[in-house]
Structure 1
Amino acid sequence: MRLKNRVCLAVSCLLSAAMPAVASEPDDFEDRVRAFLLSNPEIIVEALDVLMQREAQQAVVQTLSNYPELFTDAPSLGLGAEDAPIRVVEFFDYKCVPCKAMHDPLKSLVQKNPNIRIEMRHLPILSPGSERAARFALAVSAVAGKKAYAGVHDDLWAIRGPLNVAAFERIAADHDLDFQAITDMMDSAEISQRISLNRDVAIALEILGTPAFITPKTVNVGQSDVDELAKVWLSQ
């Protein structure tokens, strides 16, 4: 019954689109449209696809309206000019191989398209170490500022082995940072709130992996063609 209702809705949309021409058409116009649709049912399938895409986009927009801070928070870590008019939020995990594979192409993308800013947000879901690394990076930002955060992020990004205390202590030493102060900050309410917000958004949008790229109107999950993503972002 649900499918039948959706088909009826799709047909109704098709008829509505044709209504401006109805006044000048013969009285049997709707009968002829019906006969045409029965002879070409693939058009109804296409209309259903368009309808589903439209509904999905509306659902994304509605869901994201509950999290305005995702796009209004001050920039902290990302690619491209901080004042670029198009902000894309990338959810990433330090253990995410596709995230790392897309990183250099995304760097090139924002260099070619200065209107795009990709703001990177932690979504640690792949391992317990992922969350500890996210907390460590965010603690560095809170204790030592954005420049130190960017440097520590690059070092965490490059780690191939375990994301553990020994690795964090080594990175802190390399950047001449106060490791004890960072450790004390890692489990703070501020950092827990940031990670929880990102997870809440992911759950609401049914995001099950990384990377995930989010704009106020679209969600793209998984390794994707960067140029195709750019077309979507620039069209908004």
Structure 2
Amino acid sequence: MSRRMTVLVIASVLVIAFAAAAIWFKSAQSPEQTTASPPTASSLVRFHSPVIGAANAPVTIVEFFDPSCEACRAFFPLVKKLLADNPNDVRLVLRYVLFHEGSETAARILETARKQGLYAEVLEAVMASQPQWHDDPQVTMAWAAAEQAGLDVSKAKAEMMSAEITSTLEKDAADAKAVGIRQTPTFFVNGRSLPSFGSQQLINLVESEVEQAK
């Protein structure tokens, strides 16, 4: 083979290789392959969202949670500790994702408690009693626990189906879908998702954000 022919063959191979690489790169950047854009602040925190902790805290934990979720119950003491350890620097914003049977009623109990100024107290009681009412469509023991925490049950049952509470649950469901929530709990800290799911990952991200805020 002549030198000129060899050069032409090599050039042809290079052209084909670059073309193949370009096709692969384009396919790798298709919508199905790219990472979803991070959620906007407005899709994480809404004016109607319940907040626990200092309203002006520089670090915000957003938790998409289901009151019936056993993993949410397992994380609850850790989240409380993060708030207690950083009373001026960390606040918690809760968003409802209702995956389980009875979850909607439990969420409505919490929202009626918020109207009565007892959100944190009733949340504590409902989560503590969760094993007793988990998967009960009537969440009977959740009602009992909420009453022991001070909830006016008669008033709550009269208000639980209000348009305002229904709107809150519907907006949370829409935001959870927009953000792509597939499991509970799912956490964001100042808009950042955890690098992977786990208690230590949540602790590390909160501590990092608190340190940066100082």
TM over 0.5, yes or no? yes
Aligned residue among 197, 204, 207 for 1:228:
204
Using the alignment, how far apart are the partners of 1:118 and 1:222 within structure 2? 18
Does residue 60 of the first structure (1) align with residue 38 of the second (2)? Answer: yes
Compute the TM-score of the two structures, normalised by the length of structure 2. Answer: 0.69
Give the alignment of 1:99-110 within 5 angstroms. Answer: 99-110=72-83
Query: Cα deviation per residue 1:64-94 (whole Å; 9 max; x = unaligned)?
Result: 2553xx436277343x423212222111112
- Asked if 2 retains the 8 angstrom alpha-carbon contact of 1:71 and 1:87, the reply is no
Counterpart position of 1:134 = 107
Say how many residue pairs are matched. Answer: 181
Deviation track 1:120-167 (CA, whole Å, cap 9, x = no partner) reads 222221x1211110111101212x12xx22211111101212253532
TM-score (norm 1): 0.63
**Corresponding residue number in structure 2 for 1:39:** none
Distance 1:66 1:158, change over 3 A: closer
Q: What secondary structure, in the 3-state scheme, does the structure 1 residue paired with 2:159 have?
A: helix
Q: Is the 8 A contact 1:102 1:223 kept in 2?
A: no
Aligned-CA RMSD value: 3.1
Deviation, structure 1 residue 175: 4.0
Please list every run of at least 4 consecutive aligned residues from structure 1 whose deviation after the TM superposition is greater than 4 angstroms: none
Q: Which runs of 5+ in 1 are unaligned?
A: 10-51
Answer yes or no: is the 8 Å Cα contact 2:51–2:93 preserved in 1.
yes
Kept in 1, the 8 Å contact 2:63–2:95? The answer is: yes
Identical aligned pairs, as a percentage? 26
Separation in 2, partners of 1:124, 1:107: 21
Matched, 1:96 2:41: no
CA distance in 2, matches of 1:105, 1:137: 20
Please tell me whether residue 118 in structure 1 is matched to residue 92 in structure 2: yes
Gapped runs of 5+ residues in structure 2?
1-21
The one-letter code of the counterpart of 1:161 is Q
**Larger RCO: 1 or 2 (CA < 8 Å, sep 6+):** 2
Match of 2:4 in 1: none
